[in-house]
Amino acid sequence: MIDKRKIGVMVLMLFVLGLSVFAANAEAAYKPSTDPMRVKQTYLDMIRLDQAWAAAGDSRSPIVVAVVDTGVDLRHPDLIGNLVEGANLLQPSQKPNDDNGHGTNVAGLIAAVMNNDKGITGIAPNAKIMPIKALESDGTGGEAKLGEGIKYAVDHGAKIVVLSLGLNKYSDYLASIVQYAEDHNVLLVAAVGNESTSVKYPAAYPTALAVGGVRPDKQPDPRSNNGPELDLMAPWDVYTTAMGGGYQYQDGSSMAAPQVAAAAALVWGKYPAMTAYQVRSQLEQSAQDLLTKGWDAQTGYGLLNIEKALTDPYKQDRFEPNDGVGQAASLPNHTAVKANLSSGSDQDWYAIDAAYDGAIQLWVQPEEGGSIRATFDSGQSFRASREDGDTQPFTVTVTKGRTYVKLENVDRNRKTALNYELGTDFVIYTDPFEDNDKQYKAFTLPERSQTIRGTFHEKGDLDWFALILEHSGTMRIRLSTDTGRIDPMLLIQKEGEKATTIDQAEDGGIEISPLMEVLPGQYYIRVSNTKDYSGPITGEYALEIEYTPKLIDPNEPNDKSYQATFAAMNAGYEGVFHRNEDVDWFEFRLDSESLAQVRLTNIPVSRTLYATLYNSSLDELGTYRSESGSDQLNFEKPLKEGIYYIKLQANQWFMSQMYRLQLNSYGLVSGYVDIAGHWAQGAISQMTEQGVISGYGNYQFAPNQSITRAEAATVLSHALHLTKRDELRFTDVAASHWAYADIAKAVQASIVEGYPDGTFDPDGKLTRMEMAQMLARAMNMTGKRRGNSPFSDVSESYWGVGILKQMSADGWVSGFPDGTFRPEEQATRAEFVTMLAKVINR
């Protein structure tokens, strides 16, 4: 059914076409309007009507414009002089009187009598209105009556048919009627619709002039439908005739389309030899660019400019200059145009935009005896000639965005122009869930809330999905589209049970299921377009599944400490909070002094989780909480051997997902988790207990990590209880340095020293030789020269050989099993502490 109350505003785009026979200085045919309400028709100034009348010439060829609508007020004083016989298709025995008002609105814009001292003025004084009533009083009507109305107009002498109404669906029947009008040289002008979506039919058919609406600031009204079928824009807000002999303000693409139809009547009145295609093309090429130069999907070819339509010369090829990719003419991906190649060396470049991935189809039909090669920017090309026919388009796969195509003569030596017709179309991509047209081929979706996007890439396409639920819960399904050409239907069925079909919106819109209680099992979801809507369709649907499982906590009951679930180390546990007062207790045991690590993950980010740690006597040892917006809570604590408890609680219940708890423990030796079993464990423990050394604050000693010069000086200062110090003069050790005082004490005691360049290099790694020297100085050893070097890699000329001879002889140092000492290698923290322990225990 056609519902004009739902018809979207049509955005009108004008192609500028000019005939060389146009006269530049013709005698004016019409004088400015003196009608009393002309002052309210400010929209006429936007389309330059007064200037157009001055340029209309002396031709007053009458043009019959058929208004296929709700009828016309046949007694309206401002219309009665410009009406011809029409038809009432609903009640053939009755006159086509308007019982809604919409048709009267449309008629007044075109042909309200000019300068009759009444009301308003119509745009085309040479137009005669043929009222054809095809719609009911409530603005609804069927596809059959619409087609019948167009055919009646064509068969009874109308040159222009204005259609301020529309359907979302494509129709083979209506397409044939539109072609019938084109074949009989009748121009169809149609509104695009007012729903901020795709252009409606019949405006969307390639040979119909699709009109949208602009606001007074010449910007597209956001309600005006748009897309690749849009041709022209005209004013959205108007003042026009009303049913009952009155006048009223109206708006919408329904009001924009009649203005273009009236402009066509003026052009055809001045140039009666033009064809319907030429009139359509002339209006398009003379339009005022709005957003971009040339055509675009938001404003088509631009704003109707009647003055230029009557004065600009008609161009057989309106797209020139387009000889290179930089001059490529923007072309809709659903259109039919005419142009020419001026010679064998001429090239015509076109830019075609695709709103989705898919395929562009291109028809090229040169005139008899010519042959054209079309080459896409992807490198694909094809050759077309009149003999090839025009039934098989060339198809090239494209991604979303712009595609370029070059047309050129196969005969590069041709001297004369080669006329051609060019048609484009677009087929949307096949979604990744195909082949899923049958229930047994259903595409399986994961068990979770999700949104997927799909397409109807061919006629009769159905998309089946399967959802296997392992948990009871609730589910809601929402199906929406980004185009009015899809009227979605939703089917939901649990395997083995009766299916439910949801088509509440009936004519497009969003389909939403009720919130459903679901049990474990397999569910089928079918997404389809209503049977009256053909495919393929350029547009996507969005299937949103909102699934909330009712998860069962496997640890319940564990609301009390004596019901605590035992949690083994390195194992995972899951749970939920089924009410606000719910708490979950867990028990764990440590067989020795250990560092206990607690890790909680998968917390809903909208919730705060609290964890309280207790000992076996239920004395609180600490409370921890997750950060706002975080899905984790982690903490660690050193604990003695024994039994411990963790109590978990959320600030608000949740059952849509399960938190995960994992406990880990690491044995502690002297407060460290990384020295158990280490060869230097004894020395590290002794030095730690004596307060000489410490770890890194994370229960790590890092025994195999290299020790820095600052760390070594600090350890020596603490171990030897140094107290005296002098001011340091090293350029790289400021007074604020963390080791300043201990370095100063070690320097004062002549245990450490800097480098000749005045630096100390506190963060530099201590070598094994520097370590031996520091400890030797701590024991007042000066070294000896007698005897041979005790290590194979320490020569007699090495600067520290004396120290190593003395310390080796006295048993303070030993090398590696291969007889080397490796004096320049970095000393580890374990090596340094072990040697220091020997010095202290001597």
Q: What is the pLDDT of residues 580-590, one digit of tens each?
A: 999 999 999 99
Q: 505 or 133, which is more confident?
A: 133
**Res 507: pLDDT:** 62
> How many CA atoms lie within 13 Å of 811's alpha carbon, on the beta-carbon side?
2
Average pLDDT estimate for 275-289: 95
What percentage of residues in the chain have a pLDDT greater than 90?
Answer: 78
Q: Are 420 and 367 in contact (CB under 8 A)?
A: yes
| pLDDT higher than threshold 70 for residue 9 | no
- Which one-letter DSSP state was computed for residue 649? E
**Res 841: pLDDT:** 86
Tokens of residue 351, six digits = 């830019």
Average pLDDT estimate for 198-216: 94
Name, in order, each residue with C-beta under 8 angstroms of 698's C-beta and a sequence gap of 6 or more: none
Distance, CA of 644 to CA of 636 (rounded, Å)? 13
Can you name the residues that pair with 49 across neighbouring β-strands? none
The pair phi, psi for residue 33, each rounded to 5°, is: -70, 140
**Res 821: pLDDT:** 95
Is 445 strand, coil or helix?
Answer: strand
Kindly report the average pLDDT of the chain as a whole number: 90
| pLDDT higher than threshold 90 for residue 762 | yes
Q: If you search the block for the tokens 């009647």, which residue do you land on?
A: 306
| pLDDT higher than threshold 80 for residue 794 | yes
Name, in order, each residue with C-beta under 8 angstroms of 556's C-beta and a sequence gap of 6 or more: none
Closest to 589 in 3D by CA, of 638, 643, 646:
643
The helix (H) or strand (E) run that includes residue 147 is: helix 143-155
Average pLDDT estimate for 502-506: 76
**Res 59: pLDDT:** 58
Q: Are 261 and 162 in contact (CB under 8 A)?
A: yes
Q: 388 or 839, which is more confident?
A: 839
Query: Domains along the chain?
Result: 2-311 (3.40.50.200), 325-428 (2.60.120.380), 439-549 (2.60.120.380), 561-667 (2.60.120.380), 681-840 (no CATH)
**Res 785: pLDDT:** 76
Query: Predicted confidence band at 3 (pLDDT cuts at 50, 70, 90)?
Result: very low
Closest to 448 in 3D by CA, of 463, 464, 470, 428:
470
Q: If you search the block for the tokens 């019948």, which residue do you land on?
A: 148
Q: Is 91 exposed, middle or buried (0-12, 13-18, 19+ CB in 10 A)?
A: exposed
- Which one-letter DSSP state was computed for residue 759? -
**Res 621: pLDDT:** 97
DSSP E strand stretches across 584-632? 584-590, 594-601, 609-615, 620-625
Q: Are 463 and 526 in contact (CB under 8 A)?
A: yes
> Using only C-alpha atoms, what is the Rg of the chain?
44
Query: Predicted confidence band at 219 (pLDDT cuts at 50, 70, 90)?
Result: very high
Distance, CA of 568 to CA of 590 (rounded, Å)? 10
DSSP E strand stretches across 321-370? 329-331, 335-341, 347-354, 358-366
pLDDT, one tens digit per residue, over 57-92 is: 765 689 999 999 999 999 999 999 999 999 999 999
**Res 170: pLDDT:** 86
**Other residues' Cβ atoms within 10 Å of the Cβ of residue 304:** 33
Q: Is 467 exposed, middle or buried (0-12, 13-18, 19+ CB in 10 A)?
A: buried
Name, in order, each residue with C-beta under 8 angstroms of 246's C-beta and a sequence gap of 6 or more: none
Q: What angle do CA 568, 573, 579 make, to 5 degrees?
A: 130
Name, in order, each residue with C-beta under 8 angstroms of 54's C-beta and a sequence gap of 6 or more: 28, 30
* DSSP state letters, 232-273: EEEESEEEEEETTTEEEEEESHHHHHHHHHHHHHHHHHH-TT
Distance, CA of 65 to CA of 126 (rounded, Å)? 10
Name, in order, each residue with C-beta under 8 angstroms of 617's C-beta and a sequence gap of 6 or more: none
Output helix, strand, coil percentages for the chain, rounded to the nearest 5. 20, 30, 50
pLDDT, one tens digit per residue, over 684-724 is: 999 999 989 988 888 999 999 999 999 999 999 999 999 99
Tokens of residue 160, six digits = 């222009």
**Res 5: pLDDT:** 30
Closest to 669 in 3D by CA, of 703, 645, 707:
703
Closest to 555 in 3D by CA, of 646, 621, 630, 471:
646
pLDDT, one tens digit per residue, over 98-119 is: 999 999 999 999 999 988 989 9
Average pLDDT estimate for 555-564: 95
Name, in order, each residue with C-beta under 8 angstroms of 776's C-beta and a sequence gap of 6 or more: 782, 783, 803, 806, 807, 812
**Res 580: pLDDT:** 92
**Res 682: pLDDT:** 93
Distance, CA of 563 to CA of 584 (rounded, Å)? 9
Q: Are 203 and 260 in contact (CB under 8 A)?
A: no
Q: Are 437 and 464 in contact (CB under 8 A)?
A: yes
Closest to 110 in 3D by CA, of 168, 186, 161:
161
The helix (H) or strand (E) run that includes residue 742 is: helix 740-748
Tokens of residue 434, six digits = 């195909």
User: Where in the sequence numbering do the catalytic residues fall?
Assistant: 69, 102, 254
| pLDDT higher than threshold 50 for residue 1 | no
**Res 167: pLDDT:** 85
Tokens of residue 1, six digits = 């059914």
Distance, CA of 66 to CA of 407 (rounded, Å)? 38
Cis peptide upstream of residue 321 (ω within 30 degrees of 0): yes
Closest to 477 in 3D by CA, of 513, 428, 435:
513
Dmax over Cα atoms in the chain, in whole Å? 137
**Res 505: pLDDT:** 64
- Which one-letter DSSP state was computed for residue 672? B
Q: Parallel, antiparallel, or unpaired: how do β-strands 500-502 and 450-454 relate? A: unpaired
Distance, CA of 117 to CA of 36 (rounded, Å)? 6
Q: How far apart are the first and last CA of the chain?
A: 105
| pLDDT higher than threshold 70 for residue 485 | yes
Give the Å distances, CA to CA, from 172 to 176, 178, 201, 424, 426: 6, 10, 11, 18, 17
Average pLDDT estimate for 14-41: 55
| pLDDT higher than threshold 80 for residue 814 | yes
| pLDDT higher than threshold 90 for residue 13 | no
Is 279 strand, coil or helix?
Answer: helix
Query: Predicted confidence band at 328 (pLDDT cuts at 50, 70, 90)?
Result: very high
Of the listed ranges 136-140, 153-157, 310-314, 352-356, the least confidently predicted one is 136-140
Distance, CA of 673 to CA of 571 (rounded, Å)? 20
- Which one-letter DSSP state was computed for residue 157? T
What percentage of residues in the chain have a pLDDT greater than 70?
Answer: 95
| pLDDT higher than threshold 50 for residue 19 | no
Tokens of residue 112, six digits = 């309200």
Say what angle helices 172-183 and 276-285 make with each other, to 10 degrees.
100
